[in-house]
Structure 1
Amino acid sequence: MKSIFTLLSAAGFLAMAAGCARVETNKQDGTIHPDESPLQGAVTSQDIRTVASKMAPAILGLPEISGGDAPVRILISEFKNNTRFLIDKNLFAKRLRIELNQYGQGKIRFIDRNANVQRDRAVAVRDRQEYLIQQNLKTLGKEIAGLELMQRSDPVKIAVIPVLNTNLVNMNADSFTAMLRSEIVQAGKGKIQFLMPGTLAGADYYLTGQFIPESMKKEGIINLANYIEVIDARIRSGQSMTLDDGTVPASPEKPQIYTRIGQQESELVRMLRNPELRKNPNVNKRLNIMLVKPDTKVAVYEKMFLLDRKFSSREGRAQFILSGEISALSQRRQGTASDYLLVSVQLVDLESNEIVWEGAYETKKLSRSGIVYQ
């Protein structure tokens, strides 16, 4: 009996061991050559590499590319996929760009359109522009302090009139004029004095100016001389330099009886309150600084410099556009699919819209049902 029990226990143990044993599979891992195709049908890596290696030499050999000394700038347009295959159509453009950069010997420059790059570039450009503004204000302050009309035995008194058009481009005029005033005083070494804000009496010169947006849109800017006239009249009547202080109504749509200065003042208030004019357009914005004689309203000094750059991807600098299209003619019979693929690439002159070069790669794919997903 004991022997039988021992045999049964051993058999049970072996059965349990067999049930827990790992089942061997035929799974294989490995690396294949980029030009090998482990699956039938569809667009393969070999197709992408062949397109690039075939078309890059043809593009580099064009007179428009190889004929000049300066690099040619190319903008890559998004490739279009007209086939039934689910593929990253821009793989063709990326591989072709790599090939052209590798063998182009500096003859070609590509305009980048990557969203992440553009975001980081915008931050870097803005930071660089802020540094340039500080340097420009420092240089401008030294230049104004060194003017011959500032070289007097008694101190020159300057009154600051707020810069015109701040409402149009949404720039902080007070900060720029305050920084410039500080640079002028520092460079003047006691020869130049500024009157308190809101005071014009006794000034030898007015320091003023205007923001100028480089825009095709008509901004409705009032003449700077008329603006100074309005400020003069407000100060003489005991008002502040701040136009939008609630004391002046905006000019209505229907004309009313105003004095000439009153009409200009009311129009300025309308511009300040108009939300459409307070938008910050993406254009180059320049600051034009002037020193004006109070009695004659003649600008004895004037200087303009860039304050804010228009941000763009610089696509307008491109001379050519590289575009492509993936087309197919597909047939299916008894579970077998046949696909004729045509990959065409064009180089288009940006100015004339002429196709200066066109290349094509064609292949035929055969696949069985279930290999290519639809």
Structure 2
Amino acid sequence: MHRVRLGLVVLATAATLSACQRVDNTPGSPTVYVDPATSGPVKGVGIESQDIVSMTDQMMRDMLSQPRLANAATPPSIIIDSEYFHNESSSRLNKNSITDRLRVGLNRAAAGRMQFVGRHYADMVAKERDLKRQGTVDRATLPATQAQKGGDYRLGGRITSLDSRDPKTGMMQRYNQIVFEMVDLETAEIVWSGIYEFAKAAQDDIIYR
């Protein structure tokens, strides 16, 4: 009888441990690719991929239609980065996702009508120039210059928003405004301006990271 009771205790203990270690292998929702130019299954009231694609394409086309930027006798040197592109909105986003896409698309479409200065790479260039001039490395194939390339125009702008919420329904609405401006780096003249705006409403907002 003692052995029977001991055996029952062992079986009960094993069953309990087995239940605790059981792994749920039920498959979840499979990963799917979403066209970044379209609205995906996760939607909110902030700036999303389709907005970035749409606004940068629109700004690129508009800049290419400006003779001072795209049809000058000497291609102007342009700096497009997020240094002076400020996010003052309630949307959380990486500004580089906007300025990088604009710069890459414009560089490809301009086809030599504009020259682009990588000011965000200035430290990298400075270090390599020092190594060459100290004789640590050779001069490579490009001719030496007195200084790094300066810019004629630089992108500036800001992102702002206006939020409203219905306390009865919880419905939230956000008006988003994105202003792009190209500034003369000698006179501070704004030689081109563009604006992209839209409003979204949703019952519950999502978390942006």
TM-score (norm. length: structure 1): 0.44
What residue is the counterpart of 1:21 in the other structure? 22
Label 1:70 to 1:113 Cα distance change in 2 as closer, same or farther (>3 A).
same
| Inter-partner Cα distance in structure 1 for 2:207 and 2:15 | 46
Conserved? CA contact 2:70–2:114, under 8 Å:
no
Task: Quote the offset at 1:97 in angstroms.
Answer: 0.3
Structure with the larger RCO, 1 or 2 (CA within 8 Å, 6+ apart): 2
In the alignment, which of 18, 40, 45 is matched to residue 41 of structure 1? 45
What residue is the counterpart of 1:344 in the other structure? 179
Helix, strand or coil at the partner of 1:64: helix
Deviations 1:237-270 (A, max 9, x none): xxxxxxxxxxxxxxxxxxxxxxxxxxxxxxxxxx
| Inter-partner Cα distance in structure 2 for 1:6 and 1:87 | 63
In the alignment, which of 100, 112, 126 is matched to residue 130 of structure 2? 126
Q: Work out whether 1:357 is the aligned partner of 2:192.
A: yes
| Inter-partner Cα distance in structure 2 for 1:26 and 1:127 | 55
| Inter-partner Cα distance in structure 1 for 2:189 and 2:115 | 20
Q: Percent identity?
A: 26
What one-letter code is carried by the residue in structure 1 that aligns with 2:98? F
Task: Quote the offset at 1:372 in angstroms.
Answer: 4.2
| Inter-partner Cα distance in structure 1 for 2:181 and 2:123 | 29
Q: Work out whether 1:331 is the aligned partner of 2:164.
A: yes
What residue is the counterpart of 2:99 in the other structure? 93
Q: Runs of 5+ in structure 2 lacking a partner?
A: 136-144
Give the 5 Å matches for 1:207-286. none
TM-score (norm. length: structure 2): 0.74
Larger Rg: 1
Give the 5 Å matches for 1:73-152. 73-76=77-80, 77-114=83-120, 117-130=121-134
Superposition RMSD on alpha carbons, in Å?
Answer: 3.1
Q: Runs of 5+ in structure 1 lacking a partner?
A: 132-308
Conserved? CA contact 2:44–2:204, under 8 Å:
no
In the alignment, which of 30, 34, 54 is matched to residue 58 of structure 2? 54
| Inter-partner Cα distance in structure 2 for 1:43 and 1:57 | 20
What residue is the counterpart of 1:321 in the other structure? 154
The alignment of Structure 1 onto Structure 2 pairs a total of residues equal to 191
Task: Quote the offset at 1:11 in angstroms.
Answer: 6.1
Label 1:346 to 1:120 Cα distance change in 2 as closer, same or farther (>3 A).
closer
| Inter-partner Cα distance in structure 1 for 2:74 and 2:146 | 25
Task: Quote the offset at 1:69 in angstroms.
Answer: 4.6
Task: Quote the offset at 1:87 in angstroms.
Answer: 1.4
Task: Quote the offset at 1:10 in angstroms.
Answer: 9.1
| Inter-partner Cα distance in structure 1 for 2:128 and 2:174 | 48
What one-letter code is carried by the residue in structure 1 that aligns with 2:199? K
